[in-house]
Amino acid sequence: MTKDQAQLRIEELSRLLDQHNYNYYVLAAPTITDYAFDMLMEELIRLENQFPDLSAADSPSKRVGGEVTKQFQTVQHRYAMLSLSNSYNEGEIREFHNRVVKTLEQEAEYVCELKYDGLAISILYENGKLIQAVTRGDGNKGDDVTSNVKTIRSIPLKLKGSYPKRFEIRGEIYFPHDSFQAANEARIEEGTAPFANPRNAAAGTLKMQDSAEVSRRKLDCWFYYIMGENLPFKSHYESLQAAKSWGFKISSAIALCKNEAEIFEYIHDWEKGRNELPFDIDGIVIKVNRFDQQQLLGFTAKSPRWAIAYKYKAEEVTTQLLTVTYQVGRTGAVTPVANLKPVLLAGTTIKRASLHNADIILGLDLHENDTVVVEKGGEIIPKITSVKTALRDPSSKEVSFITHCPECGTALVRSEGESAWYCPNSYHCPPQIKGRLSHFIARKAMNIEGLGEGRVELLFDHGLVHNVADLYDLRYDQLLGLEKTFEDDDGKLRKIGFREKTSRLIVESIEASKAIPYPRLLFALGIRFVGETVAAKLAEAFPSIELLMRAQYNDLIEVEEIGDRIAESVLAFFDDLENMQTISRLQQHGLQFSHVAKNTMLSSVLEGKTIVISGVFETFSRDEAKTLIENHGGKVSSSISAKTSFILAGDQMGPSKKEKAEKLGVQLMDEAGFLYLIKQE
Ligand code: IVH
């Protein structure tokens, strides 16, 4: 195909994909199958890889992300992002209406909309193209999250029809329920704590550095407000309908209301209807429709006088407390859980409520068999807000917090000033052991593929792993065939086990993890308060575990970001005989307990090989990759040629490099394969 032909086809494919994207994500009315869509997308990506300079910034292929933002730039809003004043009862809506009529000296028409529960975004469009997307921040300044926002399929990258030359549009980015659930299932599978609610999850996602991950999470956006100079609209309603015609996702649940009665009808309809929506709302918004009237009403310092939010009360229901059980987490913290007589609340059956800690139980004055009021706020797990003491059987006993660990029987402890009780038996208490193992194997730690939380539990139940060092003694034949069936939260039967492919993957991945650099390993050990960043700082200041073990309190707190709490925790960790034994076993297995200095020959497995590094990696930085290659006898080169032995390819490898490799027939090797290769020696 010539370049001219490619250009024509790329334009055609982009047009088709944009239209299908719009049909699917904005209109929810697809006209082709997912497979046919994928085929078109593949063709486009192939052509763009072949002719990189024909790949436009607003190509539909950009939806998969790829840009990595190290630090989000702070941007001043052209128009401040104000909030809405809230009301919680109909009286306040009447007062709002009376104020409006009094100021305007005439009746007003209103637009009622859903109040989407996500986070506000302001997007600038120029000449029909998405230019910049900024979060609300403090209302005056926000973060530039353009590359992440571009991955949200329903947000147009270029507009249709005739639109103003320059304008800003505001909307709410949110997590649809099904994407939220999928993201949480994936997190549980990889051993990370699930998100508590869709809104926080959406906020966290939008601030991720890796836009490819944002793309996978499948956020969505409703638009509700347009601003700009000399826009040709007389009313809010009209402006939203115009925005709809340019390709923006505008809810069809918008209504024009002529009087208070119609506003109340809208409020009541959606109070019932909201449980059926596939996303969260926390109320409705009422806006004066005409722009000239809005202008007369003006603003207070914080919010417009022409709009008000009506917030729905969190739904609540009464039910009976059956039992209180206690869960022990990775750190040993004990959380009480109320088991309830099942009851329907906000569209789901509630069987449990979180009680958080002992103080909450005391505060509620909770007694056995109490009738309790359960509320579902934004969180997934509902909470008990009060107890109907009048309905209590006078002979029922107070619920008193347990004194011993329900899992291992050890007496619980509580430090001064802390609300949680802890089981101090870290090394022999099953949920703590399993939690530590899950942390160790997680993607951000030792990245052991194929071994999620469920499989770790299975290995533990069979007595195969008890300690992270045991992972390195596992053999393929021990894994193969193990399985168990369990009932998930929804009562569905699920099976988990080890087949040939998974068992092989796990054993290879465990072997490969021996090459994972020291800072990661330090993080994986799960020292309390030592997250990824702190682990990296410690590894830099103490380039081997021996040096770190010998460090005194004063040496530790000299390191940037290491304070009292972390220093104490590090000292306590190395003071523990069990930890020292684990480290010694891991050392015998050949794990990397020191910063590998440059020019230390570890093997000659890469001798005579010239390797190009491209993309980003899970377990090492590009610099670390270079050192690893050199220490194993290889040479690193920055450009691909016929002499390149292979490309060490991470995520987001550039399309031009891919194209060149393909042309010259140079092989790509992924991170896991590379680690496995250098461990062979
Ligand atoms: S209009 C000048 N409409 O609520 C105010 N806001 O407290 C313009 N929100 O930050 C806001 N749904 O994030 C408007 N239909 C809707 C909304 C909505 C949700 C959020 C928005 C804003 C907050 C105001």
CA atoms within 13 A on the CB side of 475: 2
Ligand 1 pocket mutation pick from 86, 173, 224, 226 by most atoms within 8 angstroms of CB: 224
Start-end of H helices in 105-145: none
| Confidence (pLDDT) at 114 | 98
CB neighbours of residue 568 within 10 Å? 15
* Closest to 239 in 3D by CA, of 248, 252, 226, 253: 226
Does domain 75-311 fall under CATH 3.90.1150.10? My reply is no
Nearest-angstrom CA–CA distance, 554 and 362: 41
Kindly report the pTM of this predicted structure: 0.69
Burial class for 211, CB neighbours closer than 10 Å (0-12, 13-18, 19+): buried
How far is ligand 1, taken at its centre, from the CA of residue 147, in Å? 23
Task: Tell me the DSSP string of 173-230.
Answer: EE--HHHHHHHHHHHHHTTPPPPS-HHHHHHHHHT-SBHHHHHHH--EEEEEEEE-TT
How far is ligand 1, taken at its centre, from the CA of residue 83, in Å? 7
From residue 369, alpha-carbon distances to 362, 397, 459, 590 in Å are 15, 9, 38, 56
Task: Tell me the DSSP string of 545-606.
Answer: HHHHHH--HHHHHTSTT--HHHHHHHHHHHT-HHHHHHHHHHHHTT---B---TT-----TT
* Closest residue to atom 13 of ligand 1, CA basis: 120
- Identify the CATH number of the domain defined by range 610-680: 3.40.50.10190
| For the CA of 82, the nearest atom of ligand 1 | 2
Helices 453-461 and 177-189: crossing angle, nearest 10°?
40
Residues in Cβ contact with 224 at an 8 Å cutoff, skipping those fewer than 6 apart: 113, 116, 170, 171, 172, 240, 250, 285
- The CATH topology of domain 518-588 is DNA polymerase; domain 1 (1.10.150)
* Closest residue to atom 17 of ligand 1, CA basis: 115
| For the CA of 113, the nearest atom of ligand 1 | 15
| Confidence (pLDDT) at 189 | 62
| Confidence (pLDDT) at 669 | 92
Structure tokens at 578: 């069990």
Nearest-angstrom CA–CA distance, 214 and 64: 9
Query: What is the mean pLDDT, run by run of 10 residues, along the chain of 681 residues?
Result: 93 94 90 88 90 89 80 92 93 96 96 96 96 94 94 94 96 95 77 79 91 91 96 96 97 95 96 90 96 95 95 90 93 93 86 91 95 83 91 93 96 87 92 93 89 90 95 96 81 85 94 92 92 90 94 94 92 93 95 80 88 86 86 90 91 80 90 83 53
How much of the chain is helix, strand and coil, in % rounded to 5? 40, 20, 40
Structure tokens at 589: 């297995």
- Identify the CATH number of the domain defined by range 430-515: 1.10.150.20
How far is ligand 1, taken at its centre, from the CA of residue 115, in Å? 7
| Confidence (pLDDT) at 680 | 60
How far is ligand 1, taken at its centre, from the CA of residue 111, in Å? 13
| For the CA of 303, the nearest atom of ligand 1 | 2
How far is ligand 1, taken at its centre, from the CA of residue 128, in Å? 24
| Confidence (pLDDT) at 452 | 84
| Confidence (pLDDT) at 191 | 58
Ligand 1 pocket mutation pick from 116, 123, 222, 279 by most atoms within 8 angstroms of CB: 116
Nearest-angstrom CA–CA distance, 57 and 609: 36
How far is ligand 1, taken at its centre, from the CA of residue 285, in Å? 7
* Closest residue to atom 14 of ligand 1, CA basis: 224
Task: Tell me the DSSP string of 363-431.
Answer: HHT-BTT-EEEEEE-SSSS-EEEEE-GGGS-TTPPBP---SB-TTT-PBPB--TT---EE---TTT-HH
How far is ligand 1, taken at its centre, from the CA of residue 307, in Å? 10
| For the CA of 114, the nearest atom of ligand 1 | 15
* Closest residue to atom 2 of ligand 1, CA basis: 82
| Confidence (pLDDT) at 242 | 97
Number of H helices and number of E strands within the chain?
Answer: 24, 23
Ligand 1 pocket mutation pick from 82, 115, 252, 288 by most atoms within 8 angstroms of CB: 115
Residues assigned a catalytic role: 115
Q: Name all residues whose Cβ lies below 6 A of ligand 1.
A: 82-84, 113, 115-116, 120, 136, 172, 224-225, 285, 304, 309
| For the CA of 299, the nearest atom of ligand 1 | 2
CA triple 14-202-432, angle to 5 deg: 125
* Closest residue to atom 22 of ligand 1, CA basis: 83
Helix (H, G, I), strand (E, B) or coil at 487: strand
How far is ligand 1, taken at its centre, from the CA of residue 100, in Å? 19
Nearest-angstrom CA–CA distance, 10 and 3: 10
Burial class for 411, CB neighbours closer than 10 Å (0-12, 13-18, 19+): exposed
CA triple 242-247-252, angle to 5 deg: 70
Tokens 């996702």 locate to 249
Q: Break the chain into its structural domains and give their ranges.
A: 3-64, 75-311, 315-391, 430-515, 518-588, 610-680
| For the CA of 284, the nearest atom of ligand 1 | 15
Structure tokens at 48: 């763009």
Nearest-angstrom CA–CA distance, 650 and 674: 11
Helices 198-206 and 177-189: crossing angle, nearest 10°?
80
* Closest residue to atom 21 of ligand 1, CA basis: 120
Same fold, 518-588 and 610-680: no
CATH of 315-391, one of 2.60.200.30, 2.40.50.140, 3.40.720.10, 3.10.180.10: 2.40.50.140
Does domain 3-64 fall under CATH 1.10.287.610? My reply is yes
